[in-house]
Structure 1
Amino acid sequence: MDRLQAMQAYVRVVEAGTFTKAADSLDLPKATVTRLIQTLETHLRTKLLNRTTRRVTVTPDGAAYYERATRLLGDLDELEGSMNQARMTPRGRIRIDVPGVVGREMIIPHLPDFYAKYPDIQIELGVSDRTVDLISDNIDCVIRGGDLTDQSLVARRIGEFHFVTCATPEYLRRHGTPAHPLELTQPPHRMVGYFSARSGKVMSDTFKRGDEVVEVVGNHVLAVNDANAYLNAGLAHLGVVQVTCFMAAPLLKSGGLVRVLEDWTVDPIPVYVVYPPNRHLSSKLRVFVDWVVELLGSQSTAGLKVRCALS
């Protein structure tokens, strides 16, 4: 038995939750992964996994073995990295997942600069607003906005998004200009809704003015779950929108959008780069994370940490 390969296969099965996903991520036949786990259990003289037709679960012995195995594999990766040129010249594949607007507007336009520094790194970039499972989907890191609910993940705060409330001139001509956020909850006004891809619930919008706080679920005829679709709906005169400053800035300057409720503020959303707690932060992933922190933390590049400074 190749004990190292068996250990790697076992860790991947635990993280992926199924033999099929584990085999796909390891680029091995499912039968090979199954045989490796069976041989490992025989060698250890203990049952590591409980198998069902849909999923596998970890036994108490399996949980203890997984914890030690992930540490050992991480130490091995670190050792190998320190002993070869890859540490000086990061190379290999990394899987990243980012929200649609971050990928299209921020990351992708600046990737030529990244590849100029690290030409041997291959990035598989998932670009969508859906929530992914870092462990089972075998993703190295994600960029996420908002408060983090999974405290088991490792998160590094890299900035925050500021928002502006706006509408098109045509919308304001048809429906008038709102003077208070509560006007957005009933006709003639309406907002473009944004619903959670996970729960399907339309999210509320919170406005602040001094000590006054107003939370509203706007009257809407359309709700979407993608930031670009949300902005496009606003540009189609379908309602008032709350848009990130970096997306709104060129449209506000050109007159495509007009600010409304300017004396009301919206809390910024924190932005994090997140990765699994047991995932070794390899040199190739580390340089990408550092690059993203520098990129998204730059006021001139991303508009993070800066309120809309628009005339």
Structure 2
Amino acid sequence: MDQIAAMRAFVRVVEAGNFTRAADLLDMPKPTVTKLIQQLEAHLRTKLLNRTTRRVGVTPDGAAYYERAVTLLSDLEELDGSMMRSQASPAGRLRVDTSTSLALHVLIPALPDFHARYPDIQLDLGVSDRPADLVAENIDCAIRGGDVLDPGLIARRVGEIELVLCATPGYIQRHGMPEHPRDLESGHQTIAYFSPRTGRRMSFDVVRGKEVYELDPPYVLAVNDSTAYLAACLTGLGIAQSIYSLIEPHLEGGRLVRVLPEWHSEPIVLHVVYSPNRHLSSRLRVFVDWVAELFATSNMLRRRPAR
């Protein structure tokens, strides 16, 4: 038995929750994964997994073995990397998940710099507004906005953004300019954004001094992708609340106008998050540091709308 291969298979089955998904992540046939787990259980003389038709659960012995196996495999991977290359030149595959707007406007334009610094790192960039399951999907880290709700994740704050209200000149010509946030709740159309995970629509939160409003106005369209959200706003369908730096070129070009410009949103904090079960490898460490440096200088995050 190849015990290291069996341990890797076991860890993937636990994280994925089933043999089929684990086999896909390991890029090996499902029967091979099953055989490796059986051999490992026979070698350890204990049952590690409880198998049902729908899902695989971990036994108490399996849970204890999983924690030690994750640490051992991470240490082994780090040891191999240190023997092959110096820490100044980390290498290997790194899986990152981020939102569409951050990918298009911050990360991807800066990737030539990252590749020039770390040419031996292969980056798998998942781009979607759908929150990913880091453990089940075998993702090294994700860049997320808002509160980190999972207490099991480690989060590093890397920046913040603010949202502003906007619409096309044509929409304002047809419906008039709102004078107060409450005006959005009657006589106006809005474009809503809903969570890809929960389906819940995000409210329009606006602040001016000590005045705070959390609005849920009528909408004509709701989308779950930030790029589609901006595209819908540009059609003139209604008022949207978008990241200022994303709409700034459209404001300068006259395609959009600010709505209630003296109002703004509370800052949305951005984090790089990763699982504590995933050893902070040299390639993950340098990527997190690079993202923090990038976001500290990004116009998308530094620019603030005029109050």
Q: Distance in 1 between matches of 2:244 and 2:209?
A: 21
**CA contact under 8 A between 1:164 and 1:248: conserved in structure 2?**
no
Structure-2 residue corresponding to 1:58: 58
Structure 1 segment 217-296 matched on structure 2, within 5 A: 217-296=216-295
Q: TM-score, normalised by structure 2?
A: 0.95
CA deviation profile, 1:84-103 (whole Å, cap 9, x unmatched): 31533222211111101111
CA deviation profile, 1:212-267 (whole Å, cap 9, x unmatched): 22111122111111111111111111111111121021112222211121222210
Equivalent pairs: percent with the same residue?
58
**CA contact under 8 A between 1:9 and 1:22: conserved in structure 2?**
yes
Q: Which amino acid aligns with 1:302?
A: N
Q: Which amino acid aligns with 2:40?
A: L
CA RMSD of aligned residues (A): 1.5
The answer to whether structure 1 residue 165 and structure 2 residue 162 are counterparts is no
State how many pairs are aligned: 307
Q: Distance in 2 between matches of 1:208 and 1:183?
A: 15
Unmatched runs of 5 consecutive residues or more in structure 2? none
**CA contact under 8 A between 1:295 and 1:302: conserved in structure 2?**
no
Structure-1 residue corresponding to 2:301: 304
**CA contact under 8 A between 2:103 and 2:127: conserved in structure 1?**
yes
Q: Which amino acid aligns with 2:230?
A: L
The SS at the match of 1:192 is: strand
Structure-1 residue corresponding to 2:84: 84
The SS at the match of 2:190 is: coil
Q: Distance in 1 between matches of 2:293 and 2:101?
A: 18
**CA contact under 8 A between 2:162 and 2:264: conserved in structure 1?**
no
Q: TM-score, normalised by structure 1?
A: 0.94
Structure-1 residue corresponding to 2:196: 197
Q: Distance in 2 between matches of 1:136 and 1:264?
A: 40
Q: Distance in 2 between matches of 1:89 and 1:213?
A: 49
1:289 shift after superposition: 1.7
CA deviation profile, 1:97-135 (whole Å, cap 9, x unmatched): 110111111111111121122222211111111111111
Structure-1 residue corresponding to 2:39: 39
Structure-2 residue corresponding to 1:151: 151
Q: Distance in 2 between matches of 1:162 and 1:202?
A: 18
The SS at the match of 1:207 is: strand
Q: Report the more deviating stretch, 140-149 or 80-89.
A: 80-89
1:305 shift after superposition: 4.3
Q: Distance in 2 between matches of 1:237 and 1:6?
A: 57
Q: Distance in 1 between matches of 2:96 and 2:17?
A: 20
Q: Which amino acid aligns with 1:179?
A: E
Structure-2 residue corresponding to 1:118: 118
The answer to whether structure 1 residue 10 and structure 2 residue 10 are counterparts is yes
Q: Which amino acid aligns with 2:114?
A: F
The answer to whether structure 1 residue 180 and structure 2 residue 180 are counterparts is yes
Unmatched runs of 5 consecutive residues or more in structure 1? none
Q: Distance in 1 between matches of 2:246 and 2:107?
A: 14
The SS at the match of 2:291 is: helix
1:62 shift after superposition: 0.7
1:32 shift after superposition: 1.4
The answer to whether structure 1 residue 213 and structure 2 residue 212 are counterparts is yes
**CA contact under 8 A between 2:106 and 2:300: conserved in structure 1?**
no
Q: Which amino acid aligns with 2:31?
A: A
Q: Distance in 2 between matches of 1:230 and 1:3?
A: 49
Q: Distance in 1 between matches of 2:8 and 2:291?
A: 29
The SS at the match of 1:130 is: coil
Q: Distance in 1 between matches of 2:57 and 2:276?
A: 19
1:58 shift after superposition: 0.5
**CA contact under 8 A between 2:105 and 2:300: conserved in structure 1?**
no
The SS at the match of 2:149 is: coil
Q: Distance in 1 between matches of 2:275 and 2:171?
A: 44
Q: Distance in 1 between matches of 2:201 and 2:254?
A: 28
Q: Distance in 2 between matches of 1:272 and 1:210?
A: 26
Report runs of 4+ in structure 1 exceeding 3 Å deviation. Answer: none
